[in-house]
A = this chain, B = another copy of it.
Amino acid sequence: MPRIALDAMGGDYAPAATVAGALLALAELPADASLQMVGKEDVLVAELERQGHASVLGNGRIEIVGATQVIEMNDKPSVAAKGKRDSSMVVGLRLQTEGRSDAFVSAGNTGAQMAASVFVLRLHEGLSRPAISTLLPTGRGVPLVMLDSGANVDCSPEELVQFARLGAVYAEDILRRANPAVGLLSVGEEPEKGNLAVKEAHRLLAQSGLNFIGNVEGRDLPRGACARGDLDVVVCDGFTGNVILKFYEAVAPMIFGLLAQHGAPRSAVDAVKHAFDYAQYGGAPLLGVKGISIICHGQSSAEAIKNAIKVAALAIDRGMAAHIGRSVRSAPQEARP
């Protein structure tokens, strides 16, 4: 009976997109799943009425959990996470530690969601930082897990190894990849290529017990494969990952725009565009916390919110948080900072 809490106040288009996304998700989730919309009660009731769905509150599958505060996009993450105790974000996360919910989804302030998730849910023992994992579209039709994509701008070699472990569990549980192949993003294939942190991480990954296939380069990401085979997970620091992610999000629309200018037919462009639509992948799990916290793009549409809720349901169904805990506990000592 998966129970998923949604930060109904979070995101650029909340509460319209969050409420609509919740309603879309309810129609697609298993019948025993339920949703908690966390936020200002009067606002959410009014939004449900506006969308003509006030009656869903009586069906037992969706409830409103009151929270009087909202963390704004420009709030300072750590201050807001600790200071706004009655915000939709903190209240929504706390439902998990109170045993009232199994997952949390938000399109609000990403930094605050990270800080609040660590503060409320806590990190698994042995980890020093959480990581944001993102799915990158690839030419082979299935996505690639990239992490960290922005939680940690300066990373130690040991943290890069932790990310590899977290990403491997995500690829197994959510993408159903058996024995996922993990690559380390660098500037050349050879183990001696890379910056100081990457070179040391390569050495640690080679003895990590993971299915480590060595260094991969920028050119391997769009293909989702390198010379040594298909890739399931690629590990990098959050600075590089964030730059790549934002670059990827912008380059495809730029190319589609140029194509339209040159008279390419809409049907062909639209078919390819779909492969680059981040909304289809839903949210990005914040990995490493004892629980489930799914981070959505601030500009999430109702469709994106729906898909993020479905990712949360998958993560619950497959026991991802516990699986990560086991993986981290069984890690060899050298991989711990």
Contacts and interface: CB of A to CB of B under 8 A. Distances in A.
A64 B70 CA distance: 73
Contacts of A244: 218, 243-244, 247
A227 interface: no
A275 interface: yes
13 contacts: A139-B257, A185-B243, A187-B242, A218-B246, A218-B249, A219-B246, A221-B247, A221-B251, A222-B250, A236-B243, A239-B240, A262-B271, A263-B265
Given A243-B185, A258-B272, A264-B265, A251 B250 contact: no
Given A154-B196, A217-B243, A222-B251, 10 more contacts: A139-B258, A185-B243, A187-B238, A187-B239, A195-B239, A219-B249, A222-B250, A236-B243, A247-B248, A259-B269
Contacts of A268: 259, 262-265
A89 to B, nearest CB: 20
A217 B246 contact: yes
A159 to B, nearest CB: 13
Contacts of A154: 195-196
A9 B186 CA distance: 28
A269 B264 contact: yes
Given A248-B251, A259-B268, A259-B269, A150 B187 contact: yes
Interface string A179-220: 000000111000000111010000000000000000001111
Contacts of A29: none
A195 B155 CA distance: 9
A137 B252 CA distance: 13
A178 interface: no
